[in-house]
């Protein structure tokens, strides 16, 4: 048989309504091949294009959108680069974020760790707290939003994270997530936030956890530097809170470097821009995607492997496609 005839037979697309013969019928505005049935005259798009969660956007474009988002691009810049509408990008982000959050909870649990560092990073949704108070808005989904993050010092694995307010209730929810992710005894270091004292002992005290806080002392800001420059740190106090912590191991430098990774990898968290989140759900989903990508897909420059590989959770570097399929 003529090879061209075989190829033509392989490319034949049957009608999805009557299984009749079809022919190509141009392309849609997104460049996807259309077909028209010669019998019932129904027009449809090529069914062999792989799609994500039933969305019309092809899989390769969805992966490109997610890759741009985790590399620090904004939603609108991703829209300009890929041609995918911003509403579709946000819909994709929320769906993938939910998957990433479930996957992270299933895989990162009961880990034996040695040194854990925890901190909280500030952001805002819609508007800053000052503007929210001025306008008299009472919604909890607008205003300041704090992301609590816990990292293992040696493997650089993000063990747990929590999006909420800087309150005792949210702090307990965060430490409960740390308890879910870890097992056995270890040392945990935090900054001087008072809510940690009760929350860590409540959630982790039964695991024979050694807990210490590093309380930094800052000088008054100099003239003209109140807004954009941090105050000068003049010293730090080491306080043992629970158990018998090793003060030589007390450190928060690694979690503070992780905060920089968050701000550089998420356009929503970049300061002094208009790329901030407008909705709580979108912000939450992007955080879930960011931490899953950081743990499983991104090779750490110091470790030369991903944090998940260093923690023996997986044996290879994940691709974004693999992350979506879990």
> Treating both helix axes as pointing N-terminal to C-terminal, what angle do 86-107 and 59-70 enclose, rounded to 10 degrees?
80
Q: Is the pTM of this model over 0.95?
A: no
Q: What is the DSSP letter of 243?
A: S
Tokens of 182: 């870890």
Tokens of 320: 């974004």
Tokens of 55: 């969305």
pLDDT in tens, the chain (326 residues): 443 333 333 346 777 778 888 888 888 776 777 888 888 888 877 665 556 666 667 888 899 999 999 999 999 999 999 999 999 999 999 999 999 999 999 999 999 999 999 999 999 999 999 999 999 999 989 999 999 999 999 999 999 999 999 999 999 999 999 999 999 999 999 999 999 999 999 999 877 899 999 998 877 665 555 566 667 777 789 999 999 999 999 999 999 999 999 999 999 999 888 999 999 999 999 999 999 999 999 999 999 999 999 999 999 999 999 998 87
* Dist. CA 172–CA 160, nearest whole Å: 12
Give the pLDDT confidence score for residue 52 in this predicted structure: 66
- Could you give all domains of the chain from N- to C-terminal order, each with its CATH number? 3-45 (no CATH), 110-273 (3.30.420)
Give me the torsion for CA of 61, 65, 68, 73, rounded to 10°.
140
Sequence-distant (6+) residues with CB within 8 A of 142 are 125, 126, 127, 132, 280
Give the pLDDT confidence score for residue 229 in this predicted structure: 67
Give the pLDDT confidence score for residue 253 in this predicted structure: 94
Give the pLDDT confidence score for residue 92 in this predicted structure: 94
Give the pLDDT confidence score for residue 15 in this predicted structure: 79
Which residues of the chain form beta strands (DSSP E)? 22-27, 33-37, 43-45, 111-112, 115-125, 143-152, 158-164, 182-183, 187-190, 210-218, 233-242
Sequence-distant (6+) residues with CB within 8 A of 210 are 185, 186, 187, 188, 242, 243, 244, 245, 246
* Dist. CA 118–CA 122, nearest whole Å: 14
Burial class (CB in 10 A: 0-12, 13-18, 19+), 104: buried
Give the pLDDT confidence score for residue 7 in this predicted structure: 35
């Amino acid at each position: 048989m003529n090879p061209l005839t075989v190829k033509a037979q392989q490319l034949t697309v049957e009608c999805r309504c009557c299984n009749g013969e079809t022919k190509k019928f141009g392309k849609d505005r997104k460049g996807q091949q259309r077909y028209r049935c010669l019998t019932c005259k129904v027009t449809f798009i090529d069914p062999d294009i792989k799609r994500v969660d039933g969305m019309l956007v092809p899989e390769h474009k969805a992966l490109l959108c997610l890759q741009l988002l985790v590399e620090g691009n904004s939603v609108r810049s991703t829209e300009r680069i890929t041609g995918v509408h911003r509403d579709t990008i946000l819909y994709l982000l929320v769906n993938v974020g939910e998957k990433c959050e479930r996957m992270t909870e299933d895989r990162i649990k009961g880990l034996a760790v040695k040194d854990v560092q925890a901190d909280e990073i500030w952001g805002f949704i819609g508007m800053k707290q000052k503007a929210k108070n001025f306008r008299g808005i009472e919604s909890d989904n607008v205003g300041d939003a704090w992301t609590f993050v816990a990292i293992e010092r040696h493997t650089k694995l993000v063990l747990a994270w929590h999006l909420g307010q800087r309150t005792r209730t949210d702090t307990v929810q965060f430490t409960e997530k740390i308890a879910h992710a870890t097992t056995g005894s270890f040392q945990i270091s935090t900054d001087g936030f008072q809510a940690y004292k009760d929350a860590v002992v409540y959630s982790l005290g039964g695991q024979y956890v050694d807990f210490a806080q590093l309380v930094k002392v800052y000088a008054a800001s100099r003239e003209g530097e109140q807004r954009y420059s941090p105050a000068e740190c003049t010293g730090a106090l080491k306080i043992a809170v629970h158990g018998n912590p090793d003060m030589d191991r007390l450190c928060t430098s690694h979690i503070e470097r992780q905060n920089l990774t968050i701000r550089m990898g998420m356009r929503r968290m970049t300061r002094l821009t208009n790329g901030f989140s407008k909705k709580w759900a979108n912000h939450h989903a992007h955080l879930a995607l960011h931490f899953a990508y950081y743990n499983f897909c991104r090779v750490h420059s110091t470790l030369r492997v991903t944090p998940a590989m260093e923690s023996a959770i997986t044996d290879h570097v994940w691709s974004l496609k693999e992350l979506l399929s879990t």
